[in-house]
A and B are shown apart, each in its own frame.
Chain A
Amino acid sequence: MKFGYYPGCSLSGTAKEFDLSLKEVIGVLNSNLEEINDWSCCGASSAHILSHLLAVALPARNILLAKKQGLNNVVAPCAACYNRLLTSQHELKLDEKIRIKTEELLEEKYTDGIEICNLIQLFEKIGTDNIKALVKTDLSGLKAACYYGCLLLRPSEITKFDDNEDPSSMERIVNAAGAKAVDWSFKTECCGASHSFPHVEIVEKLSKSILDNAIHHNADVIITACPMCHANLDMRQKNIIKHNAGQKSIPVLYLTQLLGIAFGIDFNKLGLNRHTIDPAPLIKEKIKRIQLREAVV
Protein backbone atom coordinates (compact mmCIF):
# COMPACT_ATOMS: atom_id res chain seq x y z
CA MET A 1 0.00 0.00 0.00
CA LYS A 2 1.18 3.51 -0.77
CA PHE A 3 0.56 6.46 1.56
CA GLY A 4 1.34 10.15 1.32
CA TYR A 5 3.56 11.23 4.19
CA TYR A 6 3.61 14.46 6.19
CA PRO A 7 6.37 13.95 8.79
CA GLY A 8 6.05 17.34 10.49
CA CYS A 9 8.85 19.17 12.29
CA SER A 10 9.08 16.94 15.38
CA LEU A 11 9.74 13.80 13.36
CA SER A 12 12.72 15.45 11.71
CA GLY A 13 14.00 16.72 15.07
CA THR A 14 13.37 15.68 18.67
CA ALA A 15 11.21 12.73 17.58
CA LYS A 16 13.55 11.42 14.87
CA GLU A 17 13.14 7.91 16.31
CA PHE A 18 9.41 8.08 15.52
CA ASP A 19 10.29 8.67 11.86
CA LEU A 20 13.04 6.00 11.86
CA SER A 21 10.85 3.33 13.42
CA LEU A 22 7.85 4.20 11.21
CA LYS A 23 9.94 3.76 8.06
CA GLU A 24 11.41 0.46 9.31
CA VAL A 25 7.96 -0.92 10.16
CA ILE A 26 6.35 0.29 6.93
CA GLY A 27 9.12 -1.48 4.99
CA VAL A 28 8.38 -4.78 6.76
CA LEU A 29 4.67 -4.31 6.06
CA ASN A 30 5.39 -3.97 2.33
CA SER A 31 4.04 -0.45 2.16
CA ASN A 32 5.49 2.85 0.96
CA LEU A 33 5.47 6.39 2.24
CA GLU A 34 5.73 9.23 -0.26
CA GLU A 35 6.79 12.42 1.48
CA ILE A 36 5.11 15.69 0.48
CA ASN A 37 7.76 17.71 -1.41
CA ASP A 38 8.96 20.81 0.41
CA TRP A 39 6.34 20.51 3.16
CA SER A 40 6.30 23.27 5.76
CA CYS A 41 5.33 23.53 9.44
CA CYS A 42 1.59 23.18 10.15
CA GLY A 43 1.78 25.87 12.84
CA ALA A 44 1.56 23.21 15.57
CA SER A 45 0.47 24.43 19.00
CA SER A 46 1.59 27.98 18.29
CA ALA A 47 -0.14 29.38 15.20
CA HIS A 48 -3.64 28.92 16.62
CA ILE A 49 -2.65 30.83 19.74
CA LEU A 50 -1.62 33.87 17.71
CA SER A 51 -3.71 33.94 14.53
CA HIS A 52 -6.79 32.07 13.35
CA LEU A 53 -5.98 32.77 9.71
CA LEU A 54 -2.43 31.48 10.03
CA ALA A 55 -3.63 28.35 11.84
CA VAL A 56 -5.83 27.54 8.84
CA ALA A 57 -3.46 28.70 6.07
CA LEU A 58 -0.25 26.90 7.11
CA PRO A 59 -1.80 23.40 7.01
CA ALA A 60 -3.70 24.34 3.83
CA ARG A 61 -0.41 24.95 1.98
CA ASN A 62 0.61 21.35 2.72
CA ILE A 63 -2.77 19.93 1.74
CA LEU A 64 -2.49 21.74 -1.61
CA LEU A 65 1.07 20.44 -2.14
CA ALA A 66 -0.11 16.88 -1.48
CA LYS A 67 -2.92 17.35 -3.95
CA LYS A 68 -0.52 18.63 -6.63
CA GLN A 69 1.67 15.59 -6.03
CA GLY A 70 -1.32 13.38 -6.82
CA LEU A 71 -1.67 11.93 -3.33
CA ASN A 72 -5.11 10.72 -2.22
CA ASN A 73 -4.28 10.27 1.41
CA VAL A 74 -1.70 11.68 3.78
CA VAL A 75 -0.45 10.07 6.97
CA ALA A 76 0.44 12.56 9.69
CA PRO A 77 2.00 10.44 12.48
CA CYS A 78 2.36 13.44 14.81
CA ALA A 79 -0.92 13.86 16.68
CA ALA A 80 -0.61 17.66 16.68
CA CYS A 81 -0.01 17.83 12.91
CA TYR A 82 -2.89 15.41 12.33
CA ASN A 83 -5.17 17.61 14.42
CA ARG A 84 -4.10 20.89 12.75
CA LEU A 85 -4.39 19.47 9.21
CA LEU A 86 -7.88 18.12 9.95
CA THR A 87 -9.03 21.29 11.70
CA SER A 88 -7.86 23.41 8.78
CA GLN A 89 -9.65 21.13 6.31
CA HIS A 90 -12.82 21.29 8.44
CA GLU A 91 -12.83 25.08 8.71
CA LEU A 92 -12.09 25.61 5.03
CA LYS A 93 -15.06 23.42 4.21
CA LEU A 94 -17.53 25.10 6.56
CA ASP A 95 -16.40 28.72 6.77
CA GLU A 96 -16.45 30.52 3.44
CA LYS A 97 -14.97 33.72 4.85
CA ILE A 98 -11.86 31.97 6.12
CA ARG A 99 -11.54 30.05 2.84
CA ILE A 100 -11.52 33.27 0.82
CA LYS A 101 -8.95 34.83 3.15
CA THR A 102 -6.79 31.71 2.99
CA GLU A 103 -6.89 31.64 -0.80
CA GLU A 104 -5.83 35.30 -0.87
CA LEU A 105 -2.96 34.51 1.48
CA LEU A 106 -1.77 31.44 -0.43
CA GLU A 107 -2.47 33.07 -3.80
CA GLU A 108 -4.20 29.96 -5.09
CA LYS A 109 -7.59 28.25 -5.07
CA TYR A 110 -8.20 25.74 -2.31
CA THR A 111 -9.44 22.33 -3.30
CA ASP A 112 -9.88 19.41 -0.99
CA GLY A 113 -10.28 15.67 -1.46
CA ILE A 114 -7.32 14.46 0.58
CA GLU A 115 -7.86 11.98 3.37
CA ILE A 116 -5.73 12.74 6.44
CA CYS A 117 -4.91 9.68 8.59
CA ASN A 118 -3.30 9.37 11.97
CA LEU A 119 -0.83 6.64 12.85
CA ILE A 120 -3.43 4.22 14.22
CA GLN A 121 -5.63 4.62 11.14
CA LEU A 122 -2.58 3.82 9.00
CA PHE A 123 -2.14 0.47 10.76
CA GLU A 124 -5.88 -0.17 10.64
CA LYS A 125 -5.73 0.23 6.86
CA ILE A 126 -2.79 -2.15 6.63
CA GLY A 127 -4.78 -4.56 8.82
CA THR A 128 -4.17 -6.27 12.15
CA ASP A 129 -4.03 -9.69 10.43
CA ASN A 130 -1.11 -8.52 8.29
CA ILE A 131 0.61 -7.23 11.43
CA LYS A 132 0.02 -10.51 13.30
CA ALA A 133 1.43 -12.53 10.40
CA LEU A 134 4.77 -10.72 10.60
CA VAL A 135 5.38 -10.97 14.36
CA LYS A 136 8.69 -12.71 15.10
CA THR A 137 9.31 -11.82 18.74
CA ASP A 138 7.00 -13.07 21.47
CA LEU A 139 5.95 -10.03 23.50
CA SER A 140 3.20 -11.79 25.46
CA GLY A 141 4.96 -10.93 28.73
CA LEU A 142 4.94 -7.20 28.02
CA LYS A 143 2.10 -5.19 29.52
CA ALA A 144 1.47 -1.92 27.70
CA ALA A 145 -0.59 1.14 28.62
CA CYS A 146 -1.84 2.76 25.39
CA TYR A 147 -1.74 6.52 25.80
CA TYR A 148 -3.69 8.59 23.27
CA GLY A 149 -3.39 12.06 24.78
CA CYS A 150 -5.61 14.83 23.45
CA LEU A 151 -5.08 15.56 19.81
CA LEU A 152 -5.69 12.17 18.20
CA LEU A 153 -9.25 12.12 19.48
CA ARG A 154 -10.58 15.58 20.21
CA PRO A 155 -12.81 17.11 19.08
CA SER A 156 -14.60 14.05 17.75
CA GLU A 157 -16.74 16.23 15.48
CA ILE A 158 -13.56 16.88 13.50
CA THR A 159 -11.45 13.74 14.03
CA LYS A 160 -14.37 11.28 13.75
CA PHE A 161 -12.00 8.77 15.27
CA ASP A 162 -12.59 6.25 18.07
CA ASP A 163 -14.31 7.05 21.40
CA ASN A 164 -12.85 10.23 22.82
CA GLU A 165 -13.36 9.22 26.47
CA ASP A 166 -12.53 5.50 26.28
CA PRO A 167 -10.72 4.67 23.04
CA SER A 168 -9.57 1.15 22.13
CA SER A 169 -8.10 1.29 18.61
CA MET A 170 -4.46 1.45 19.75
CA GLU A 171 -5.02 -1.52 22.05
CA ARG A 172 -6.07 -3.61 19.03
CA ILE A 173 -2.78 -2.80 17.25
CA VAL A 174 -0.72 -3.46 20.39
CA ASN A 175 -2.46 -6.79 20.94
CA ALA A 176 -1.94 -7.71 17.28
CA ALA A 177 1.79 -7.14 17.88
CA GLY A 178 1.56 -9.76 20.63
CA ALA A 179 1.89 -7.49 23.68
CA LYS A 180 -0.83 -7.23 26.36
CA ALA A 181 -2.68 -3.92 26.48
CA VAL A 182 -3.74 -3.10 30.05
CA ASP A 183 -6.94 -1.33 31.05
CA TRP A 184 -6.16 1.98 32.73
CA SER A 185 -7.75 5.35 33.46
CA PHE A 186 -5.50 8.01 31.94
CA LYS A 187 -5.63 7.13 28.23
CA THR A 188 -6.87 10.55 27.19
CA GLU A 189 -5.62 12.85 29.95
CA CYS A 190 -3.51 15.85 28.95
CA CYS A 191 0.29 15.73 29.54
CA GLY A 192 0.62 19.53 29.58
CA ALA A 193 1.49 19.74 25.89
CA SER A 194 3.44 22.80 24.78
CA HIS A 195 3.78 24.12 28.33
CA SER A 196 6.92 21.95 28.44
CA PHE A 197 9.12 25.04 28.17
CA PRO A 198 7.14 27.96 29.64
CA HIS A 199 5.56 26.00 32.52
CA VAL A 200 7.48 22.85 33.20
CA GLU A 201 5.80 22.63 36.65
CA ILE A 202 2.42 22.08 34.94
CA VAL A 203 3.89 19.41 32.67
CA GLU A 204 5.59 17.62 35.57
CA LYS A 205 2.38 17.49 37.59
CA LEU A 206 0.15 16.30 34.73
CA SER A 207 2.69 13.87 33.32
CA LYS A 208 3.39 12.42 36.77
CA SER A 209 -0.25 11.47 37.24
CA ILE A 210 -0.26 9.74 33.83
CA LEU A 211 2.94 7.81 34.66
CA ASP A 212 1.59 6.91 38.11
CA ASN A 213 -1.70 5.62 36.75
CA ALA A 214 0.06 3.43 34.17
CA ILE A 215 2.36 2.00 36.88
CA HIS A 216 -0.64 1.51 39.20
CA HIS A 217 -2.29 -0.64 36.51
CA ASN A 218 0.86 -2.78 36.27
CA ALA A 219 1.99 -1.54 32.87
CA ASP A 220 5.64 -2.20 31.95
CA VAL A 221 5.67 0.45 29.23
CA ILE A 222 3.56 3.34 27.96
CA ILE A 223 2.83 3.40 24.22
CA THR A 224 2.19 6.71 22.52
CA ALA A 225 1.57 8.13 19.05
CA CYS A 226 2.41 11.77 19.77
CA PRO A 227 5.89 13.38 19.86
CA MET A 228 4.78 16.05 22.33
CA CYS A 229 3.36 13.42 24.73
CA HIS A 230 6.56 11.42 24.31
CA ALA A 231 8.78 14.38 25.11
CA ASN A 232 6.78 15.19 28.22
CA LEU A 233 6.46 11.63 29.51
CA ASP A 234 10.01 10.51 28.64
CA MET A 235 12.28 13.58 28.66
CA ARG A 236 10.55 15.17 31.63
CA GLN A 237 10.44 11.88 33.56
CA LYS A 238 14.03 12.32 34.72
CA ASN A 239 13.06 15.44 36.67
CA ILE A 240 9.78 13.91 37.85
CA ILE A 241 11.87 11.12 39.41
CA LYS A 242 14.31 13.68 40.85
CA HIS A 243 11.54 15.79 42.39
CA ASN A 244 9.43 12.93 43.84
CA ALA A 245 10.93 10.50 46.32
CA GLY A 246 10.14 6.86 45.54
CA GLN A 247 8.98 7.60 41.97
CA LYS A 248 9.45 4.51 39.77
CA SER A 249 10.54 4.88 36.14
CA ILE A 250 8.57 3.53 33.18
CA PRO A 251 9.82 3.52 29.58
CA VAL A 252 7.72 5.30 26.94
CA LEU A 253 7.71 3.88 23.41
CA TYR A 254 6.20 5.00 20.15
CA LEU A 255 3.66 2.54 18.76
CA THR A 256 5.96 2.11 15.75
CA GLN A 257 8.85 1.08 18.01
CA LEU A 258 6.71 -1.58 19.69
CA LEU A 259 5.73 -2.97 16.27
CA GLY A 260 9.38 -2.87 15.23
CA ILE A 261 10.40 -4.91 18.28
CA ALA A 262 7.64 -7.43 17.49
CA PHE A 263 8.92 -7.67 13.90
CA GLY A 264 12.43 -8.41 15.20
CA ILE A 265 14.03 -5.17 13.99
CA ASP A 266 17.32 -4.10 15.62
CA PHE A 267 16.72 -1.79 18.62
CA ASN A 268 19.10 0.90 17.38
CA LYS A 269 17.40 1.00 13.98
CA LEU A 270 14.19 1.79 15.88
CA GLY A 271 15.96 4.57 17.80
CA LEU A 272 15.38 2.96 21.20
CA ASN A 273 18.81 4.28 22.23
CA ARG A 274 17.55 7.85 21.90
CA HIS A 275 15.18 7.79 24.87
CA THR A 276 15.83 9.34 28.27
CA ILE A 277 14.40 6.29 30.06
CA ASP A 278 16.19 3.47 28.26
CA PRO A 279 13.57 0.81 27.37
CA ALA A 280 16.11 -1.77 26.10
CA PRO A 281 16.99 -3.57 29.40
CA LEU A 282 13.33 -4.09 30.32
CA ILE A 283 12.30 -5.29 26.84
CA LYS A 284 15.29 -7.65 26.62
CA GLU A 285 14.48 -9.07 30.04
CA LYS A 286 10.83 -9.65 29.09
CA ILE A 287 11.78 -11.39 25.85
CA LYS A 288 14.43 -13.51 27.62
CA ARG A 289 11.96 -14.59 30.28
CA ILE A 290 9.49 -15.76 27.64
CA GLN A 291 12.23 -17.66 25.79
CA LEU A 292 13.34 -19.33 29.03
CA ARG A 293 9.76 -20.32 29.84
CA GLU A 294 9.34 -21.80 26.35
CA ALA A 295 12.63 -23.70 26.70
CA VAL A 296 11.41 -25.27 29.94
CA VAL A 297 8.07 -26.27 28.39
Chain B
Amino acid sequence: MEQVTDIFLKRLIDITSQNPSQCYQCGKCSAGCPVRDFLETPPNRIVRFVQLGLYELALTSASIWLCAGCLTCTSRCPKNFDLAKFMDALRQIAVQDKIEPADKKVFKFHKAFMNQVKKHGRSYELGLIRDYKLSTGDFLQDIDAAPSAFMKGKISITPHNIKDKEKIKKIINKAAESDSP
Protein backbone atom coordinates (compact mmCIF):
# COMPACT_ATOMS: atom_id res chain seq x y z
CA MET B 1 0.00 0.00 0.00
CA GLU B 2 1.23 3.50 -0.83
CA GLN B 3 2.61 5.78 1.88
CA VAL B 4 -0.27 7.53 3.68
CA THR B 5 0.57 10.73 5.52
CA ASP B 6 -2.92 11.84 6.46
CA ILE B 7 -3.42 11.01 10.17
CA PHE B 8 -7.15 10.27 9.95
CA LEU B 9 -6.70 8.05 6.92
CA LYS B 10 -3.86 6.26 8.68
CA ARG B 11 -6.11 5.44 11.63
CA LEU B 12 -8.84 4.23 9.29
CA ILE B 13 -6.46 2.01 7.32
CA ASP B 14 -4.96 0.72 10.56
CA ILE B 15 -8.38 -0.58 11.66
CA THR B 16 -9.66 -1.81 8.31
CA SER B 17 -6.45 -2.80 6.43
CA GLN B 18 -7.88 -1.18 3.28
CA ASN B 19 -7.70 2.23 1.60
CA PRO B 20 -11.07 3.86 0.83
CA SER B 21 -9.53 5.20 -2.41
CA GLN B 22 -10.13 1.75 -3.92
CA CYS B 23 -13.89 2.49 -4.10
CA TYR B 24 -14.85 3.71 -7.60
CA GLN B 25 -18.31 4.92 -6.59
CA CYS B 26 -20.45 2.49 -8.57
CA GLY B 27 -23.16 2.71 -5.89
CA LYS B 28 -23.93 -1.01 -5.73
CA CYS B 29 -23.65 -0.84 -1.92
CA SER B 30 -26.32 1.86 -1.68
CA ALA B 31 -28.57 0.07 -4.19
CA GLY B 32 -28.66 -3.06 -2.02
CA CYS B 33 -28.57 -1.40 1.40
CA PRO B 34 -31.63 -2.56 3.41
CA VAL B 35 -31.73 0.61 5.53
CA ARG B 36 -31.24 2.95 2.55
CA ASP B 37 -34.76 4.42 2.98
CA PHE B 38 -33.82 5.61 6.45
CA LEU B 39 -30.50 7.23 5.47
CA GLU B 40 -30.04 10.88 4.64
CA THR B 41 -26.66 10.06 3.14
CA PRO B 42 -26.25 6.74 1.27
CA PRO B 43 -23.22 4.59 2.14
CA ASN B 44 -21.27 5.22 -1.10
CA ARG B 45 -21.47 8.96 -0.41
CA ILE B 46 -20.00 8.41 3.08
CA VAL B 47 -17.04 6.73 1.34
CA ARG B 48 -16.87 9.70 -1.05
CA PHE B 49 -16.72 12.14 1.88
CA VAL B 50 -13.70 10.28 3.21
CA GLN B 51 -12.06 10.12 -0.24
CA LEU B 52 -12.41 13.91 -0.45
CA GLY B 53 -11.03 14.44 3.05
CA LEU B 54 -14.40 15.64 4.37
CA TYR B 55 -13.99 13.52 7.49
CA GLU B 56 -16.24 15.55 9.73
CA LEU B 57 -19.17 15.10 7.36
CA ALA B 58 -18.67 11.33 7.54
CA LEU B 59 -18.20 11.20 11.32
CA THR B 60 -21.21 13.38 12.09
CA SER B 61 -23.58 11.58 9.73
CA ALA B 62 -26.44 9.52 11.20
CA SER B 63 -25.85 6.97 8.43
CA ILE B 64 -22.84 5.47 10.17
CA TRP B 65 -25.08 4.67 13.18
CA LEU B 66 -28.06 3.47 11.17
CA CYS B 67 -25.98 0.91 9.23
CA ALA B 68 -27.36 -2.42 10.50
CA GLY B 69 -24.11 -4.29 9.88
CA CYS B 70 -25.82 -6.79 7.55
CA LEU B 71 -22.68 -7.06 5.36
CA THR B 72 -24.66 -7.07 2.10
CA CYS B 73 -22.51 -4.23 0.72
CA THR B 74 -19.32 -6.03 1.74
CA SER B 75 -20.31 -9.24 0.01
CA ARG B 76 -21.43 -7.51 -3.20
CA CYS B 77 -18.70 -4.92 -3.73
CA PRO B 78 -17.04 -5.41 -7.13
CA LYS B 79 -13.82 -3.93 -5.72
CA ASN B 80 -13.86 -6.15 -2.60
CA PHE B 81 -14.03 -3.07 -0.40
CA ASP B 82 -15.29 -4.12 3.03
CA LEU B 83 -17.77 -1.28 3.54
CA ALA B 84 -19.27 -2.78 6.72
CA LYS B 85 -15.82 -2.75 8.29
CA PHE B 86 -15.30 0.80 7.06
CA MET B 87 -18.57 1.82 8.78
CA ASP B 88 -17.42 0.05 11.97
CA ALA B 89 -14.17 1.98 11.85
CA LEU B 90 -15.93 5.34 11.41
CA ARG B 91 -18.14 4.62 14.45
CA GLN B 92 -15.12 3.50 16.46
CA ILE B 93 -13.17 6.65 15.58
CA ALA B 94 -16.22 8.82 16.37
CA VAL B 95 -16.44 7.14 19.80
CA GLN B 96 -12.71 7.45 20.45
CA ASP B 97 -12.70 11.14 19.50
CA LYS B 98 -15.88 11.77 21.54
CA ILE B 99 -17.75 13.14 18.54
CA GLU B 100 -21.39 13.43 19.46
CA PRO B 101 -23.23 10.64 17.60
CA ALA B 102 -25.83 11.96 15.15
CA ASP B 103 -28.02 9.05 16.25
CA LYS B 104 -27.76 8.88 20.03
CA LYS B 105 -30.20 5.99 20.48
CA VAL B 106 -28.05 3.47 18.61
CA PHE B 107 -24.91 4.58 20.44
CA LYS B 108 -26.63 4.41 23.83
CA PHE B 109 -28.01 0.96 23.10
CA HIS B 110 -24.59 -0.51 22.30
CA LYS B 111 -23.02 1.31 25.24
CA ALA B 112 -25.70 -0.14 27.57
CA PHE B 113 -25.09 -3.60 26.09
CA MET B 114 -21.34 -3.45 26.70
CA ASN B 115 -21.91 -2.16 30.23
CA GLN B 116 -23.82 -5.35 31.06
CA VAL B 117 -21.00 -7.45 29.64
CA LYS B 118 -18.51 -5.44 31.70
CA LYS B 119 -20.52 -6.04 34.89
CA HIS B 120 -21.46 -9.70 34.44
CA GLY B 121 -19.22 -11.14 31.72
CA ARG B 122 -22.35 -11.85 29.68
CA SER B 123 -25.24 -9.81 28.46
CA TYR B 124 -28.10 -9.34 30.93
CA GLU B 125 -31.25 -8.31 29.13
CA LEU B 126 -33.19 -6.77 32.00
CA GLY B 127 -30.19 -4.65 32.96
CA LEU B 128 -29.70 -3.69 29.32
CA ILE B 129 -33.31 -2.55 28.98
CA ARG B 130 -33.14 -0.65 32.28
CA ASP B 131 -29.86 1.13 31.43
CA TYR B 132 -30.97 1.88 27.88
CA LYS B 133 -34.29 3.33 29.03
CA LEU B 134 -32.60 5.38 31.75
CA SER B 135 -30.13 6.84 29.25
CA THR B 136 -32.73 7.68 26.57
CA GLY B 137 -35.71 8.51 28.81
CA ASP B 138 -37.83 6.42 26.45
CA PHE B 139 -39.85 4.52 29.07
CA LEU B 140 -42.97 3.78 27.05
CA GLN B 141 -41.52 1.71 24.21
CA ASP B 142 -42.33 -2.00 24.54
CA ILE B 143 -44.28 -1.52 27.74
CA ASP B 144 -46.99 -3.75 26.21
CA ALA B 145 -44.54 -6.49 25.22
CA ALA B 146 -42.80 -6.67 28.61
CA PRO B 147 -45.41 -8.69 30.63
CA SER B 148 -45.62 -11.44 28.00
CA ALA B 149 -41.82 -11.61 27.73
CA PHE B 150 -41.62 -12.16 31.49
CA MET B 151 -44.45 -14.70 31.54
CA LYS B 152 -42.82 -16.76 28.82
CA GLY B 153 -39.54 -16.70 30.74
CA LYS B 154 -37.86 -14.82 27.89
CA ILE B 155 -36.28 -12.31 30.24
CA SER B 156 -34.64 -13.57 33.41
CA ILE B 157 -34.95 -11.52 36.57
CA THR B 158 -31.40 -12.07 37.79
CA PRO B 159 -28.16 -11.71 35.83
CA HIS B 160 -25.81 -14.62 35.22
CA ASN B 161 -22.34 -13.72 36.44
CA ILE B 162 -19.42 -15.66 35.03
CA LYS B 163 -16.71 -16.76 37.51
CA ASP B 164 -13.99 -14.70 35.88
CA LYS B 165 -16.04 -11.54 35.40
CA GLU B 166 -13.16 -9.41 36.74
CA LYS B 167 -11.12 -10.53 33.72
CA ILE B 168 -13.79 -9.27 31.31
CA LYS B 169 -13.95 -5.95 33.15
CA LYS B 170 -10.18 -5.67 32.84
CA ILE B 171 -10.25 -6.54 29.11
CA ILE B 172 -12.91 -3.91 28.41
CA ASN B 173 -11.14 -1.21 30.44
CA LYS B 174 -7.73 -1.96 28.90
CA ALA B 175 -9.19 -1.97 25.37
CA ALA B 176 -10.66 1.49 25.97
CA GLU B 177 -7.24 2.72 27.15
CA SER B 178 -5.52 1.20 24.16
CA ASP B 179 -8.09 2.71 21.77
CA SER B 180 -7.85 6.26 23.09
CA PRO B 181 -5.97 8.42 20.58
Contact = CB atoms under 8 A, between A and B. Distances in A.
| Category for how many chain A residues contact B | 35 or more
Interface in B67-123: 68-72, 74-75, 82, 84, 88-89, 91-92, 95, 103, 105-111, 113-114, 117, 121-123
A47 B114 contact: yes
A41 B122 contact: yes
Given A9-B122, A12-B122, A53 B75 contact: no
Contacts of B66: 195, 199, 202
B145 A238 contact: yes
B34 A198 contact: no
Contact of A57 (B109, B154, B164, B171): B171
A155 B74 contact: yes
B90 to A, nearest CB: 10
A198 B164 contact: no
Interface residues of B, number: 64
B70 A40 contact: no
Interface of B: 14-15, 17, 34-35, 37-38, 66, 68-72, 74-75, 82, 84, 88-89, 91-92, 95, 103, 105-111, 113-114, 117, 121-125, 129, 132, 141-142, 145, 148-149, 152-156, 160, 162-165, 167-168, 171-172, 174-176, 178-179
Given A13-B154, A49-B91, A57-B175, 12 more contacts: A13-B156, A46-B117, A47-B117, A48-B69, A50-B114, A53-B179, A97-B14, A154-B74, A155-B71, A193-B69, A202-B38, A206-B35
12 contacts: A14-B149, A41-B123, A43-B114, A47-B117, A52-B179, A94-B17, A154-B70, A190-B34, A192-B68, A193-B70, A202-B35, A205-B37
Interface of A: 9-10, 12-14, 16, 38-41, 43-55, 57-58, 61, 94-95, 97, 101, 104-106, 150-151, 153-156, 164, 188-190, 192-195, 197-200, 202, 205-206, 235, 238-239, 273-276
